[in-house]
């Protein structure tokens, strides 16, 4: 029976704006979720009877991909769940790949498409950023058009997301987890209400899209100082959209003196922030003193893979 694994992620630029088709940059990190699948008498998750409310992503992935006998699924993860680091995408991706492997095989693109359907079903409105970066790994740039290093396109309703590979050097970030679980759905909804009502919010969404484009250029030429400035600007715009929180602000402020830049990552509300730094230990200390949980993460990790057949 297969063991598969998939990485967590950080969003470097463009969260929330990507839901409206704006460009975004996400990087896979060296935190992984492993998934083991066995045949069984009943559908089980980590030894317990599967429950749609407790295991929504696993239930949705089984519904979409599996047509065979009951399975027992075990997950093991170094990605804190509900932290904005893509744990739900990693479980959807790793399980989808395992189930497809049992049915004959998979490609990264197929896994990314199906896992996006799983996430959309559970979360409502979503972009394919988390599931695509967890499938492909390394770094991805999402754009409205096809460009250099194109991987695949994902569409829903009237929106099309063109996913591209970003050839990145290994980079070190410090993640600061607030310890506050903040579900993505309500935050996406909060932004949607603002965007529908308020011209200023629509302008912010577009500005975030331009930052992602500049960020891609800075990544390609390894301009760390520029990347840090853009992260700071992106954070201010996300705060204006109302998706930051006191805990996130505290961690961002505490890490900035020792970092090129710092911003919230993912949906916000609680979850995590990231800092780009040459002195990770100092940022870790600053995050701890400000009440957060630091995690040193290397970006550019491999995407979904079979660990064992």
Q: In the bound complex, what is the minimum distance in angstroms from residue 102's beta carbon to ligand PMV?
A: 27
Q: Which residues pair with 156 in a beta bridge?
A: 159
Burial of 223 (0-12, 13-18, 19+ CB in 10 A): middle
Q: Does 15 bind ligand PMV (CB under 6 A)?
A: yes
- Binding residue for ligand PMV, selected from 77, 96, 127, 134, defined by CB under 6 A: 127
Other residues' Cβ atoms within 10 Å of the Cβ of residue 59: 19
> Which region among 44-52, 72-80, 123-131, 149-157 touches ligand PMV (by CB under 6 A)?
123-131
Q: Does 84 bind ligand PMV (CB under 6 A)?
A: yes
Helices (H), 50-107: 56-65, 87-102
What would the x/- binding string for ligand PMV be over residues 137 to 176, using CB under 6 A? ----------------------------------------
CA distance 66 to 157: 25
130 a catalytic residue: yes
Other residues' Cβ atoms within 10 Å of the Cβ of residue 242: 15
What totals of helices (H) and strands (E) does the chain contain, helices first? 9, 13
Distances in Å between the Cα of 136 and the Cα atoms of 60, 79, 81, 139 are 21, 17, 20, 8
Taking CB positions, which residue lies at the least distance from ligand PMV? 266
Q: Does 194 bind ligand PMV (CB under 6 A)?
A: no
Close Cβ partners of 89 (under 8 Å, ≥ 6 residues apart): 6, 9, 115, 119, 130, 131, 133, 134
> Which region among 14-22, 157-165, 200-208, 223-231 touches ligand PMV (by CB under 6 A)?
14-22
Q: In the bound complex, what is the minimum distance in angstroms from residue 290's beta carbon to ligand PMV?
A: 21
Q: Does 188 bind ligand PMV (CB under 6 A)?
A: yes
Q: In the bound complex, what is the minimum distance in angstroms from residue 38's beta carbon to ligand PMV?
A: 28
| 3 state DSSP class of 224 | helix
Catalytic residue among 63, 130, 229, 278: 130
- Scan residues 264-283 and list those touching ligand PMV (CB under 6 A): 266-267
Q: Which is nearer to ligand PMV, 224 or 239 (CB)?
A: 239
CA distance 272 to 36: 28
> Which region among 42-50, 121-129, 173-181, 234-242 touches ligand PMV (by CB under 6 A)?
121-129
Interface with ligand PMV: number of residues (CB under 6 A):
14
In the structure encoding, which two tokens stand for residue 120, read together?
Answer: 């959309």
Q: Does 208 bind ligand PMV (CB under 6 A)?
A: no
Yes or no: say if 24 and 212 are a contact pair by the CB < 8 Å rule: yes
Q: Which is nearer to ligand PMV, 127 or 178 (CB)?
A: 127
Q: Which is nearer to ligand PMV, 2 or 80 (CB)?
A: 80
Yes or no: say if 290 and 282 are a contact pair by the CB < 8 Å rule: no
Yes or no: say if 74 and 107 are a contact pair by the CB < 8 Å rule: no
Q: Does 184 bind ligand PMV (CB under 6 A)?
A: yes
Q: Does 19 bind ligand PMV (CB under 6 A)?
A: yes
Q: In the bound complex, what is the minimum distance in angstroms from residue 291's beta carbon to ligand PMV?
A: 20
Q: Does 126 bind ligand PMV (CB under 6 A)?
A: yes
According to DSSP, the β-strands at 71-77 and 24-39 are antiparallel
Yes or no: say if 258 and 264 are a contact pair by the CB < 8 Å rule: no
Distances in Å between the Cα of 209 and the Cα atoms of 99, 163, 283 are 35, 15, 28
Q: Which residues bind ligand PMV (CB under 6 A)?
A: 15-16, 18-19, 84, 86, 126-127, 129-130, 184, 188, 266-267
- Residues taking part in catalysis: 130
């Amino acid at each position: 029976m297969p063991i598969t694994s998939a990485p967590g992620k950080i969003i470097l630029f463009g969260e929330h704006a990507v839901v409206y088709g704006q460009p975004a940059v996400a990087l896979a990190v060296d935190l992984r979720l492993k998934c083991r699948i066995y045949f069984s008498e009943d559908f089980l998750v980590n030894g317990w009877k599967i429950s749609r409310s407790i295991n929504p992503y696993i239930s949705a992935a089984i519904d979409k991909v599996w047509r065979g006998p009951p399975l027992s699924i075990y997950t093991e993860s170094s990605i804190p769940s509900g932290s904005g680091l893509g744990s739900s995408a990693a479980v959807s991706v790793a399980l989808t790949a395992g189930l497809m492997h049992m049915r004959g095989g998979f490609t990264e693109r197929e896994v990314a498409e199906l896992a996006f359907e799983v996430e959309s079903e559970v979360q409502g409105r979503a972009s394919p950023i988390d599931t695509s970066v967890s499938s492909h790994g390394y770094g991805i740039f999402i754009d409205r058009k096809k460009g250099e290093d194109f991987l695949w396109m994902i569409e829903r309703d009237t929106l099309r997301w063109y996913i591209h590979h970003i050839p990145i050097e290994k980079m070190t970030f410090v993640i600061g987890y607030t310890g506050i679980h903040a579900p993505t759905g309500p935050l996406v909804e909060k932004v949607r209400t603002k965007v529908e009502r308020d011209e200023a919010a629509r302008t912010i969404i577009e500005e975030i899209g331009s930052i992602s484009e500049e960020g891609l250029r800075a990544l390609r030429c390894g301009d760390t100082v520029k990347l840090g400035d853009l992260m700071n600007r992106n954070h201010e715009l996300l705060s204006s959209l109302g998706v930051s929180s006191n805990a996130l602000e505290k961690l961002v402020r505490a890490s900035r003196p020792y970092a090129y830049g710092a911003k919230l990552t993912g949906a916000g509300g609680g979850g995590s922030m990231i800092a780009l730094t040459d002195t990770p230990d100092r940022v870790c200390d600053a995050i701890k003193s400000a009440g957060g949980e630091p995690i040193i993460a290397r970006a550019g990790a491999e995407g979904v893979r079979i660990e064992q057949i």
